[in-house]
Amino acid sequence: MTAVTRRRCLSALLPTLLLRSRAWSASAAKPNILFVMIDTLRADHVGCYGYEKPTTPNLDRLAREGVRFADFHTAAPWTMPSVMTMFTSLHPTVHGATSTQRRASLKVTTLAERLKRLGYRRTAAITSNPTVNSRYGFAQGFDLYDDYTLFLAHELNLFGTEDVDQRRGITEAVTSHSVTQTATRWLEKEGRESPWFLFLLYFDPHDRYVPPAPWDRRFDPHPNAASRRRRDTGPHLLHPKATPQEVEHALALYDGEIGYTDHHIGALLKKLDALGHHDDTLVLLVSDHGEEFLDHGGVRHGRTLYDEQTRGVLMLRHPDTLPAGKVAPVPACHLDVTPTILDAIGVRSAAACQGTSLLPLVRSQGAAARPVFLEGATRPELRAVVHGRHKLIRDTLTGREELHDLDADASERTDLASQKPALCHRLGSHLDLHITACAAAAGAYQVGGVTPRPKLTPRDLKTLRALGYLQ
């Protein structure tokens, strides 16, 4: 081969070599993504969101090291639709995962699928909540979707932890220790191949409230009261006619489970640092919904759209790109999770996404308020819109509407609908347009059409009944 021929060959190969080099560099520059979700965590029981009890020192530290969104709303008041909305940036009625008898549309694209296409070498999920079972479509795009280890770990005590009481079902046990253990093993084995994406679901704040010692008494103002001798923390303790003492006990146990979860998330973050991933990993921590303790006469979650069930937490940390200690007051919601993660790795969100990246709002000093929409899911007739300081809740079956001023009446006790009909009409118009748009989008995703029903095992059905998701 002559020198001229060699030069011509190199000239022909150069564009390909450069393209591969740029692709590799872009891949190497992408951060790892640690996506942590805490089940049933209402914002006003978290220290950095104003709670007076020290339930969350590790979450508070994460917020100081990154960005916290002070006005964060969940897509729905229970797990399945909220998580799928985070994974797809689609409203619940659009993606279709709104019932334990229905899976998500086969046409949705998940965050994990997008990340795989963008060069993420390892994608994994570890969960102990049966409503995000792979049968509902949550496993799309994951190399590993582990919705079984924690159930087996509980039944067989695979991790040898004293926290496990094998006489109780997993819905009456704590699993944060096992989540962190499983995640740690994955990081040690698979985390060396960057970039990676790991989704973790910490279930423990969910009822029943059974924190192990010392968390069962740590936040209880009367730990030695006679009522504390009862170990049943399910429906017999927290029910619509519960006494003040029973509610106080349930709240103390709930806080104990939050503290226990926070402790194990702290251990996970320490391990992340020890493995050298503090600076090259985007950490996103979020909750799926809140929990009610007779705030509006009800208990647990899934039945209303008041703030105790739909006001959650969101914080992000990435030392290279996000400021430390910033509090973003702008409205944010589950729809924004996928677009924000994509933006953080330098990718524009797809046109199909119904949310928006929050990063421009972090960098700016402020932004105009935008409407945030909530869906009842287990009660599909309930819809709500939050715009600025006001929230309109509508029962679409009866037409009844409630209007609340969230600044003047944070507990949503005073209904202003009869006093402010013009404001109701304006917010109702936003809601009408939203409902119409979602119905059209759901048709495009064939929700309620050809999507097959999930095939649930007897164990699945038993666990869902224990959680109250099946009658």
pLDDT digits (tens, 9 = 90+) for 383-399: 999 999 999 999 999 99
Q: What pLDDT score does 226 carry?
A: 67
CB 317 within 8 A of CB 66: yes
Q: What pLDDT score does 434 carry?
A: 95
Which CATH number is associated with domain 30-370?
3.40.720.10
Interval 124-147 mean pLDDT? 90
More confident residue, 391 or 128: 391
Over 70: is that where the pLDDT of 449 sits?
no
Interval 10-14 mean pLDDT? 39
Over 80: is that where the pLDDT of 161 sits?
no
Where is average pLDDT lowest: 124-128, 146-150, 328-332, 347-351? 146-150
Over 60: is that where the pLDDT of 14 sits?
no
Q: What pLDDT score does 437 carry?
A: 94
Task: Tell me if the pTM is above 0.85.
Answer: yes
Nearest Cα to Cα of residue 207 among 166, 169, 151, 165: 169
More confident residue, 457 or 297: 297
Q: What pLDDT score does 98 carry?
A: 86
Q: What pLDDT score does 29 carry?
A: 78
Peptide bond preceding 208 in cis form (omega within 30 of 0): yes
Q: Can you read off the two tokens belonging to residue 166?
A: 């094998």
More confident residue, 171 or 21: 171
Q: Check residue 99 and report its DSSP letter.
A: B
CB 455 within 8 A of CB 442: no
Q: List the Cα angle 287/72/289 in 5-degree steps.
A: 35
Residues 6 or more apart whose Cβ sits within 8 Å of residue 119: 23, 26, 27, 30, 195
Q: List the Cα angle 222/224/226 in 5-degree steps.
A: 100
Q: What pLDDT score does 241 carry?
A: 80
Dihedral of alpha carbons 31, 34, 35, 38, sign? negative
Dihedral over alpha carbons 227, 233, 238, 242 (to 10 degrees): -20
How large is the angle between the packed helices 337-344 and 79-88, nearest 10 degrees?
A: 30
More confident residue, 64 or 465: 64
The top-scoring range by mean pLDDT among 123-127, 135-139, 446-450, 464-468 is 123-127
Q: What pLDDT score does 53 carry?
A: 97
Q: How confident is the model at residue 464 (pLDDT cuts 50, 70, 90)?
A: low
CB 240 within 8 A of CB 299: yes
Over 90: is that where the pLDDT of 324 sits?
yes
Q: Can you read off the two tokens belonging to residue 63?
A: 């917020």
Q: How far is CA 424 from CA 336, 344, 404, 405, 415, in A?
A: 26, 37, 10, 12, 11
Dihedral over alpha carbons 287, 293, 298, 302 (to 10 degrees): 10
